[in-house]
Amino acid sequence: MGDAIVITSGKGGVGKTTTTANIGTALALSGKKVCLVDTDIGLRNLDVVMGLENRIIYDLVDVAEERCRLHQALIKDKRFEALYMLPAAQTKDKSAVQPEQMKRIIDELKQDYDYVLIDCPAGIEQGFKNAIAGADKSVVVTTPETSAVRDADRIIGLLEKEENIEAPKLVVNRIRNHMMESGEMLDVDEIVSILAIDLLGIVGDDDTVIRASNKGEPIALDPSSKASLAYRNIARRILGESVPLLSLQEERGMLTKMKKFFGMRS
Amino acid sequence: MSMAQKQTQQFVTIKGTKDGLNLILDDSCAFRDVINELDEKLSARHIQQTEGNVITVTLKLGYRYLTSDQEETLRSMIQSKQNLEVDRIDSNVISREEAEEERKRTTVTSVTRTVRSGQVLEVEGDLLLIGDVNPGGTVKAAGNIFIMGSLRGVAHAGANGDINAVITAAVMKPSQLKVADLISRPPDQAGTAVHEAECAFVREGYSEISVDRIQVLTKVRPNLTRL
């Protein structure tokens, strides 16, 4: 029985889909059986980022409405034997699926996979409710911008009300080191002090991430990229390893916070 | 005849003081008996003939509980008499609901959590928050608000109109402060960071919220001490 982890943020455009694709890829690299689920019905992206768009036959809504069996809708990754994804429907909207249906699908996936990563749509409405319905754990993605941190705070509040979901963990994405150093951007310590949840990882702003996404090759595959290393580290922390943060200036003082992850179950 | 008179005299005792009349009502007889006897006594000539100013009346009920209907009956009966005005009703007993309200009004509710964006935490008495109020979050109390962490959102003390309510925070960086129906927000240019606990309150005679060191409360709100 695997773990279902929802990746969410509240605000759009902070990197939920990129994070889902890369953590999934990194977990697959570690030899885990992983299934990615795109719940952004009507605005699906995960298949594009994974480079699997042209292989979609059935989707999440087909499974929910029982037009096909779950395994028929799953798409196997080009690169990994043990990495699959369940795409969202593009022709419907969020109301095409109910939370109970989502929970049933996720529960079924958990039987076969070590990790089920759920890519959540932006917002706090139906799409969000669907995405968290089957989740056991949650990762909140934010960027060092006040508006993104506000929305992350709102989302954390909603996640904390869910009894079946463990306390959310934080990923700070798109960090620009020079701006943080000059104080033009919120620094990681500040974000963690406001949001008051455990930090799972930080990812720098990196041109290679965008380039890779456009090619449909998750950056986690490229060992030379710093962002790739960041995602691999996040995956290792999810697996329960203790990995120090990457060498960003903000690292000082964060090491002690990372110790909280020592006890994290895989 | 003489029996009945003796009996009626037990129910209502009228005492004159320099502040007006004290009506001491028996608390073990029927309400109807009290009303009847009171009506009779207050209609007596020597009271009706009193000239000049309104006489204030204090009702002393002992252990009798009056329903609001009964209270209304009693008041309107007394008010209908010339020159009489009910000033106070003293009773040794209150209802369960009143006791519960009183308890809520005076208790300090302690809560440990982060009040996040979009969340509202509301209490009926004083609030002791062991945690932060984040931007977009709101705490509201009929009484005072004491925040052990950072206040970055909205705090509304004295929500039912108590202008003497105060807000304290270990780190006071609110987006808005409200006391009763007064609102204030910090200036758009962020001032220098203060690294000590602060309080917000309305100074006597002012109609704006002041923010000051927390120690100032000792002088301006000594009644916060409930030792």
Instruction: Give A261's pLDDT tier (boundaries 50, 70, 90).
Output: low
B2-93: CATH number: 3.30.750.50
Q: Which fold has domain B102-224?
A: Pectate Lyase C-like (2.160.20)
Average pLDDT over residues A2-7: 96
User: Taking residues B41-65, what's their average pLDDT?
Assistant: 77
Contact B135 A150 (CB under 8 A): yes
- Class level of CATH domain A3-263: alpha beta
Q: With an 8 Å Cβ cutoff, is A145 touching chain B?
A: no
For residue A11, say whether it is annotated as part of any ligand binding site. Answer: yes
- pTM across the whole model: 0.77
Q: How does pLDDT run across A219-229, given as a tens digit for each residue?
A: 999 999 899 99
- Exposed e or buried b per residue across B66-80, where buried means at least 16 C-beta atoms within 10 angstroms of its C-beta: beeeebeebbebbee
Using the predicted structure, report yes or no on whether residue A265 has a pLDDT greater than 70: no
Treating both helix axes as pointing N-terminal to C-terminal, what angle do A188-195 and A146-161 enclose, rounded to 10 degrees? 30
Q: How far apart are the first and last CA of chain A?
A: 12
Domain chopping of chain B, boundaries: 2-93, 102-224
CB A85 within 8 A of CB A47: yes
User: Residue ranges of the domains in chain A?
Assistant: 3-263
* Residue A196 touches chain B, beta carbons under 8 Å: yes
- A14 annotated as ligand-binding: yes
Give pLDDT tens digits for A125-171.
999 999 999 999 999 999 999 999 999 999 999 999 999 999 999 99
> In this model, does residue A214 exceed pLDDT 80?
yes
Q: Indicate whether A264 pLDDT > 90.
A: no
Give the best residue of B111, B112, B113, B114 to mutate against chain A (max A CB count within 10 A).
B114
CA distance A232 to A239: 10
pLDDT band at B155 (very low <50, low <70, confident <90, very high): very high
- Mean pLDDT of chain A, nearest integer: 91
Rounded Cα distance between A198 and A264, Å, is 11
| Minimum CA–CA partner of A146 in chain B | B135
pLDDT band at A203 (very low <50, low <70, confident <90, very high): very high
CB atoms within 10 A of CB A243: 16
